[in-house]
Homo-oligomer: A and B are copies of this chain.
Amino acid sequence: MTTIKDIAKVAGVSVTTVSRALNGYPDVSEKTRQKIIEIAKQLNYSPNTLARSLVMNKSKTIGLLVSGMNHSAIKDNFTFEVLTGINDYIAKTDYDLILFSTNSTKQREKTYSQLCRERRVDGVILQGIKTDDPYLTEVVESDIPCVLIDIPIQSDKVGYVTTDNVLGAKKAVQHLIELGHENIAMMNGHDYAFVSKQRLEGFRQAMEEANVAINDDWIVNGEFSEEVAEKKALELFSKHREITAIFCASDLMALGVVKALKQMGLSVPDDVSVVGYDDILLASYVSPSLTTIAQNRFQMGYEAASMLVEMLEGKEAKVVMLRTQLIVRESTKKNQLLKGRM
Given A80-B80, A101-B90, does the pair A47, B96 have CB atoms closer than 8 Å?
no
- Once bound together, how far apart are the Cα atoms of A17 and B77, in whole Å? 48
CB <8 Å contact, B50 and A54: yes
- Tell yes or no: A298 within 8 A of B by CB: yes
- Tell yes or no: A69 within 8 A of B by CB: yes
| Chain B residue with the shortest CB-CB distance to A84 | B69
Contact partner, A48, options B70, B100, B118, Cβ 8 Å? B118
CB <8 Å contact, B46 and A54: no
CB <8 Å contact, B96 and A100: yes
- Once bound together, how far apart are the Cα atoms of A53 and B91, in whole Å? 25
We find that the number of chain A residues with CB closer than 8 angstroms to chain B is 52
Complex A-B, nearest 7 residue pairs according to Cβ-Cβ distance, in ascending order: A80-B80, A91-B101, A46-B117, A97-B99, A91-B103, A90-B101, A50-B54
Q: Provide the residues of chain B in CB contact with A201, threshold 8 Å.
A: none
A residues apposed to B, CB below 8 Å:
1, 46-51, 53-54, 59, 61, 64, 69-71, 73-75, 77, 79-81, 83-84, 87-88, 90-93, 95-103, 106, 113-114, 117-120, 281-282, 285-287, 298
Most chain B CB inside 10 Å of its own CB: which residue of A77, A100, A119: A119
